[in-house]
Amino acid sequence: MEIAGLAVFSAIKYIGYFLYLKLACPSNHSGNIYFIALLRLLAGLAVGMSIYYLFNTGRDFVPVYISAIFVGRFVIWFAVFHIFYKSLSIKEKIKFTLGGVAVSYVLDIPSMAGLWVTIGGIC
């Protein structure tokens, strides 16, 4: 992945994560929301790339990746809400975690499109 493509991909994801955290529960966080969104982005990149490199055997990769990435996203989002949103109940944390997982999947579309355009997918 080119550095410009990674920058575009990351910028789109960061903006989406920031907006989700700002809109989901704007007053319940303990910490800088810009920093929380950045941590979420970095954790997601690390987990996503790790899953890609660990499970990319070339055979039946997509279903395995989608399943593994769901688990990874769930764990990361839950950790975000558990660590930085202590005042939320467990039920609220799970609700916002599932919302975060959905946001992550939705953000895959523009971020992958931005990555594709950046690396020369459109001439």
58-85 pLDDT, tens digit per residue, is 777 888 888 899 999 999 999 999 999 9
76 inside domain: yes
Give Cα 45 distance to the centre of its chain. 8
Helix ranges (DSSP H) in the chain: 3-24, 33-55, 61-84, 90-118
For position 37, what pLDDT does the model report?
95
Domain that holds residue 114: 3-118
| Residues in the chain, pLDDT under 50 | 123
pLDDT value, residue 36: 94
Note if the pTM is more than 0.85: yes
pLDDT value at position 123?
39
Is 34 inside a domain boundary? yes
Structural tokens at position 25: 């529960």
Tokens of 34: 């810009």
pLDDT value for 121: 53
Does some domain include residue 123? Answer: no
Domain assignment present for residue 78? The answer is yes
Give domain status of residue 70, yes or no.
yes
33 part of a folded domain: yes
**Within-domain flag for 12:** yes
Q: What is the domain count for the chain?
A: 1
Q: What is the dihedral of CA 76, 12, 112, 10, to 10 degrees?
A: -60
Q: Is residue 92 part of a domain?
A: yes
